[in-house]
């Protein structure tokens, strides 16, 4: 896997990354729907939460508001610098570190989120086992996976190529079955799952038309039992 390209890409967009989650972004519907679904799977609790691939810190405030002490790691020094600029104090810690290199104590975290990250990791099975090791028994982890089974994924790739995306880093995609299997092999129990985001991130539609289109596609997929058309597959897993 091309870790150097991944780091360079995310360093190059770090200053603008938080805009992806704002309503004036073309990609708000995609990132907003994913964020909402992930947060809905994390219960309020007192304890520690680990955000793997924390980016510029879009999950910090909502996780702190749920009662957690926050730890964020990212391979990108630019992203970590943005986090420290946005959250200079409080119950939030940020580390420039790859998931493969994290050295937290065993049974340290009460919850983990891994959003838009596992697909970039060199050894995803090794990463899953390492994540599980850092979790307390009964702790919850939420993972997102780019859905390889969706034809919309191919459209997204085509649009990205047409628009000459700056993202030259390698990242894999997973069928829902493969994603669940990897989690089970790593020792997780699957508690819930969800399909979100039916609008490719490079399609270039503005709010509110993008929201209406996303909602219509989501409703149609549910009615026709085509939920697996979604671009993102999300799994809530537990360490037994």
Which pLDDT score is estimated for 239? 98
Which pLDDT score is estimated for 151? 74
Q: How far is CA 210 from CA 9, 38, 54, 196, 207, in A?
A: 26, 21, 26, 14, 5
Q: Which residues of 154-166 are buried (b: 16+ CB within 10 A; e: fewer)?
A: eebeeeeeeeeee
Which pLDDT score is estimated for 163? 41
Please give the Cα distance from 112 to 135 (Å, whole number).
8
Which pLDDT score is estimated for 37? 95
DSSP 8-state secondary structure symbol assigned to residue 228: G
Which pLDDT score is estimated for 59? 98
- The CATH architecture of the domain made up of 3-238 is 3-Layer(aba) Sandwich (3.40)
Which pLDDT score is estimated for 33? 87
Please give the Cα distance from 70 to 73 (Å, whole number).
10
Predicted TM-score (pTM) of this structure = 0.88
Which pLDDT score is estimated for 203? 53
Which pLDDT score is estimated for 149? 86
Cβ–Cβ < 8 Å for 196, 33: yes
Q: Which residues, in sequence order, are bridge partners of residue 111?
A: 49, 140
Which pLDDT score is estimated for 201? 60
Query: Per residue of the chain (240 residues), what is the pLDDT tens digit?
Result: 467 888 988 999 898 888 888 766 667 777 888 999 999 999 999 899 999 999 999 999 999 999 999 999 999 999 999 999 999 988 899 999 999 999 999 999 999 999 999 999 989 999 999 999 999 999 999 999 999 988 766 665 555 543 444 444 457 899 999 999 999 999 999 999 999 987 666 555 555 656 666 666 666 667 666 677 888 999 999 999
Which pLDDT score is estimated for 137? 98
């Amino acid at each position: 896997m091309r870790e150097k390209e991944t780091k360079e890409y995310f360093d190059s967009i770090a200053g603008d990354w938080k805009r992806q989650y704002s309503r004036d972004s073309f990609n708000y519907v995609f990132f907003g729907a994913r964020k909402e679904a992930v947060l809905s799977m994390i219960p309020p609790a007192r304890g520690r939460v680990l955000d793997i691939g924390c980016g510029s810190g879009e999950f910090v405030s909502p996780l702190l508001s749920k009662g957690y002490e926050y730890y964020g790691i990212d391979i990108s020094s630019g992203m970590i610098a943005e986090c420290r600029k946005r959250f200079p104090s409080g119950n939030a810690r940020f580390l420039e570190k790859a998931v493969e290199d994290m050295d937290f104590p065993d049974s340290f975290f009460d919850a983990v989120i891994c959003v838009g990250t596992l697909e970039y990791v060199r050894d995803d099975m090794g990463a899953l086992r390492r994540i599980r090791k850092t979790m307390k028994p009964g702790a919850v982890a939420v993972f997102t996976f780019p859905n390889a089974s969706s034809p919309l994924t191919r459209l997204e790739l085509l649009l990205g190529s047409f628009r000459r995306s700056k993202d030259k880093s390698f990242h894999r995609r997973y069928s829902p079955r493969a994603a669940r299997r990897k989690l089970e092999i790593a020792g997780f129990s699957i508690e819930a799952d969800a399909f979100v985001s039916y609008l490719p991130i490079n399609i270039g539609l503005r709010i509110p038309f993008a929201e209406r289109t996303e909602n219509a596609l989501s409703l149609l997929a549910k009615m026709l039992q085509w939920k697996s058309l979604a671009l993102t597959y999300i799994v809530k897993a537990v360490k037994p």
